[in-house]
Chains A and B, each alone.
Chain A
């Protein structure tokens, strides 16, 4: 029997966000909606990364005076996850900026945000 805890719930939420984002990117026709779907996908990945380092009742991963050296490795949360999330947020913002910029250029050229029309080179 799988025990339902906060970490599992967070992983499920992350998987849901990734699936919604992936579905939106692949199946929605509006480019702006595709970009929003990408941000959902990115958030899902971020949630998965943060959840990875979660330790129930854990302590901050800084060895402070008075902390038991023996208990520290077992109780300290994994700090790499949040570190990667910070980078992923920056990369996500940069990618979104590039996508929005290209979308603006294409909208000026074709007068539509429909990916199917833009990629075929049809005007509105």
Chain B
């Protein structure tokens, strides 16, 4: 354990900086220069804080764990009652928040370049998206977990609406209605756990869990059901995957970069919560595994059927969420490491593909594979980025997707379920086919209009290429040297399996 022995200074900053920046940007509204300076400085500060912060706790009711013998302890592994609204910043949180803040910085810079009006309110929503992700990944109490998921859902609706198309308005309406349902479900789960254990702090609730009491265990099953509902909703898992795909497909591609990162972090946070709190209930892991497999299969099949590259990516993001949850649902150390590593990798390579898709928009003919072609001739670097992103997403070495998928396959085999390994392989192959169908048509297919020297659209901004280069570098780095990321994830996996009450 490397925790500091007082309230950690950096944890409140991950919440306060995005909120203050969002308020400031809203006030600035359309003053582009002031907005650019404030937003870039704030997001850069978040990157630096997440990289430099030590590990530790922040207790919102002011004290660390209370020992049964009286007095306090700062050691997380000792048996003590925490009795507080608690946040934890450890290695998993560090790599997750560092990546999220880096993506926020990229998305903010691209938004400033590409949007013409209402920039302030739009970028403030992006900051709040980051904030909700940070809350959910750091929190160790049900109460703040519920608030994080609720706030995140409302912000997603705002980000989707910002694209201003009819399809985005309909997606926002459907998504908000379901957020109301799943939010109410999570509140009921919180109430049931509170009623059964008397604690809101997750560590305390796990220690007080009355698994041997038959009548109370049945209440826990209901609480598990409602928590799974919110997991399915927040991560866009089957059977409500079309809702999340609508959200991804209807947003600006650069906004989807942040939305999918938020979604993956919520999947990880709620998935680990489910394992820690309900992992010992019979059938809990089986339910989670079934949802994962269904999500993977339905996602790739839907991705194959799309004729718009943006929607292909939307369904592939959903499908790859199933890979993340598969690893977590196995509940073994190797499986959890694989799931967490897949979440990190997925966020990175999907961002490459989404930003390449954003680049296609600058040619002014949308992203449908029927209406746009020959982009490689006009923007060869964009085509190379898209192809490298597709290799990473399909699990081709030496990219990061290969490393996490191989861990997932090994974890499935070691768990005694080779059929899960086959599903992972099938998802990889189908992802390759779906992506290259789009990439061939959009980037590589000869273009009649281009041959006639007809030029449409505007030049792709240099900042987009810079962001793509940085993300591809991370993709290759984690592919060649996976231990760099795995070192951050091992502690979280070991804790969930062996000492689940420790955050």
Q: Measuring CB to CB, which residues of chain A are less than 8 angstroms from any residue of chain B?
A: 18, 22, 25, 31, 34, 38, 41-42, 45, 48-49, 52, 78, 80-81, 83-84, 87-88, 91, 94-95, 98-99, 102-103, 105-106, 109, 118-119, 121
CA distance A46 to B23 in the complex (A): 30
Given contacts A78-B194, A81-B194, A84-B190, contact A42 B170 (CB under 8 A): no
Residues on A with C-beta less than 8 A from B198 are 78
Tell me the complex Cα distance, A80–B166, Å: 42
The number of inter-chain residue pairs (CB within 8 angstroms) is: 83
Contacts of A121 in B (CB 8 A): 166, 170
Residues of A within 8 A of B180 (CB): 25, 38, 41-42, 95, 99
- The residue from B173, B179, B187 contacting A31, defined by CB atoms under 8 A apart: B173
Q: What are 19 A-B residue pairs whose CB atoms fall within 8 Å in the complex?
A: A25-B177, A38-B177, A41-B181, A42-B180, A78-B194, A78-B198, A80-B143, A81-B191, A84-B187, A87-B147, A95-B150, A95-B154, A98-B176, A99-B176, A102-B157, A102-B161, A105-B169, A106-B173, A109-B166
Determine the interface band of chain B, counting residues with CB < 8 A from chain A: 20 to 34
Among B169, B174, B180, B195: residue with most chain A CB under 10 A = B180
A98 pairs with B154, CB closer than 8 A:
yes
- Of A25, A45, A94, A109, the residue contacting B188 (CB under 8 A) is A45
CB distance from A81 to the nearest CB of B (A): 7
Say what secondary structure dominates the interface of chain A.
Answer: helix
For the complex, give the distance between the alpha carbons of A27 and B89 in Å: 44
> Binding site of B, secondary structure by majority: helix, strand, loop or mixed?
helix
Judge if B200 is at the interface, Cβ distance under 8 Å.
yes
Contacts of B174 in A (CB 8 A): 119
With A and B bound together, what is the CA distance between A37 and B180 in angstroms?
A: 11
- The residue from A18, A38, A98 contacting B157, defined by CB atoms under 8 A apart: A98
A102 touches B191 (CB 8 A): no
Chain B residues near A87: list those with CB within 8 A.
143, 147
A22 and B200 CA atoms in complex are apart in Å by 26
- The reply to whether B170 and A118 form a contact with Cβ atoms under 8 Å apart is yes
The smallest beta-carbon distance between A118 and chain B, in angstroms, is 7
Closest 6 CB pairs of A and B: A102-B173, A38-B180, A91-B150, A45-B184, A49-B191, A45-B187
